[in-house]
Structure 1
Amino acid sequence: MVQPKYHVFICTSCRINGTQKGMCYQKGAVDLIQAFMQEIEDRDLSGEVVINNTGCFGICDKGPVVVVYPEGVWYGNVSEDDVERIFDEHFEGGNPVGDLLI
């Protein structure tokens, strides 16, 4: 069993019936997941960082929402441009990205 250092949950507005619609989805959350996955591959962190998409966290005005465990760090209004910073500052530097915190 893989024991990642970070487990990242990204809201893609996925509904129980499997459809995707909502704020995070409309704001590019699916592309955001792709950006996270690409960064994992580029940095060879596949054993350390695991990504999962989620349903709604209930704070749609902050979307796309990204939650990082084990710390329980919540990021809001995350864009593809923020992914590299999250990896540099949080995953590799150990410090959450302050201006993205919810």
Structure 2
Amino acid sequence: MILKPKFHIFVCASSRLTGEQKGMCMTKGTVRIVNEFISEFQEREIEDDVMITTMGCLGICGKGPVVIIYPEGIWYGKVTPDDVEEIVESHIEKGKVVERLLI
């Protein structure tokens, strides 16, 4: 039996259908954001509860980098690596949306 994570986090990686990564989100630190999420999950020992996936371009580059959290379907915009700790602590651990980042 496969266990489903409690949360699935998607981070825009500006990927095009060709697999090429170019665009706003990638140039604004997507890789660092993903790495920060992974570090936070490990530090808090919640890596079994959370899955993180990069995704293609959403076409709302002015709001990027974009982070989407399921199962709630919450969209965060203009996320920086410095925002990740707050997202994990507030949203993932306490169930409280980070209002200032909402799209």
| Residues 1-102 of structure 1 aligned to structure 2 (within 5 Å) | 1-102=2-103
Partner SS, residue 96 of structure 1: coil
**Aligned partners of 1:41 and 1:83: how far apart in 2?**
13
- Return structure 1 stretches of 4+ with deviation > 6 angstroms: none
Matched to 2:63, the amino acid is K
Q: Deviations over 1:28-72 (max 9, x none)?
A: 111111111111111111111110000011111000000000000
**Aligned partners of 1:55 and 1:44: how far apart in 2?**
28
Normalising by the residue count of structure 2, what TM-score does the alignment of the two structures yield? 0.95
**Aligned partners of 1:41 and 1:2: how far apart in 2?**
18
Q: Any unmatched runs of 5+ in structure 2?
A: none
Partner SS, residue 48 of structure 2: coil
Partner SS, residue 77 of structure 1: coil
Partner SS, residue 54 of structure 1: strand
Cα displacement (A) at 1:17: 1.6
**Aligned partners of 2:11 and 2:3: how far apart in 1?**
19
Q: Any unmatched runs of 5+ in structure 1?
A: none
Partner SS, residue 25 of structure 1: helix
Matched to 1:84, the amino acid is E
Cα displacement (A) at 1:8: 0.3
Q: Over aligned residue pairs, what C-alpha RMSD do you find? A: 0.8
**Aligned partners of 1:92 and 1:52: how far apart in 2?**
19
**Aligned partners of 1:82 and 1:2: how far apart in 2?**
28
- My pick for the range that moved more, 68-77 or 36-45, is 36-45
Partner SS, residue 14 of structure 2: coil
